[in-house]
């Protein structure tokens, strides 16, 4: 079951991502290996990932709506607008385009996402599905609105 609460975050979630990057560079946070499995059909891409308890990370900025499934475990997700959601698997929800999140893993999590995507190269999928920063997302949306 998911619970929703509003919390304060910096106005720009990219600041949170930079703080996490700085903590990794200075050794306050240690990088972790996360097993990932990829699944492809002609029109869908699925990503299965296992993340250990104690991990904290930011997501890419999602370009398109997709399905997110917590198979097991417990995480707290904070969106760029400060909405905080606790997710305990099994649970599922829709992730909307333009969403970027900070995630803290309370219990080892097994997570799967399902995206509309025809790209078959696992190294290119993340660039097809997301932007690294909210500024990149906003710049593209601004250009799309001008056309």
pLDDT in tens, 31-41: 788 999 999 99
Query: In the chain, where are the structural domains located?
Result: 3-146
Number of H helices, E strands in the chain: 3, 10
pTM given for the model? 0.78
Axis crossing angle, helix 134-146 with helix 13-26, rounded to the nearest 10: 150
Supply the pLDDT for residue 111: 95
Q: Which tens digit of pLDDT belongs to each residue from 109-129?
A: 999 999 999 999 999 999 999
Q: Which tens digit of pLDDT belongs to each residue from 47-106?
A: 999 999 988 888 889 999 999 999 999 999 988 777 889 999 999 999 999 998 888 899
Is pLDDT above 90 for 6? no
59: DSSP letter: P
Type and span of the H or E element at 26: helix 13-26
For residues 79 and 110, give the distance between their C-alpha atoms in angstroms, rounded to a whole number: 20
Q: 3-146 has which fold?
A: Jelly Rolls (2.60.120)
Is pLDDT above 60 for 4? no
pLDDT band at 14 (very low <50, low <70, confident <90, very high): low
From its phi and psi, is residue 82 left (phi > 0), alpha (psi between -120 and 50) or beta? left
């Amino acid at each position: 079951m998911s619970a929703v609460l509003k919390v304060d975050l910096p106005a720009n979630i990219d600041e949170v991502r930079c703080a996490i990057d700085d903590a990794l560079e200075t050794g306050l946070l240690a990088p972790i290996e996360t097993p990932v499995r990829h699944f492809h059909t002609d029109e869908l891409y699925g990503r299965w990932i296992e993340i250990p308890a104690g991990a904290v990370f930011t997501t890419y900025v999602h370009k398109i709506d997709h399905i997110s499934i917590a198979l097991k475990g417990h995480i707290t997700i904070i969106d760029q607008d400060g909405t905080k959601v606790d997710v305990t698997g099994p649970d599922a929800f829709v992730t909307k385009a333009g969403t970027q999140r900070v995630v803290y893993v309370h219990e080892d999590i097994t997570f799967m996402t399902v995206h509309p995507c025809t790209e078959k190269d696992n190294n290119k999928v993340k660039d097809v599905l997301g932007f690294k920063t909210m500024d990149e997302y906003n710049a593209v949306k601004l250009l799309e609105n001008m056309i």
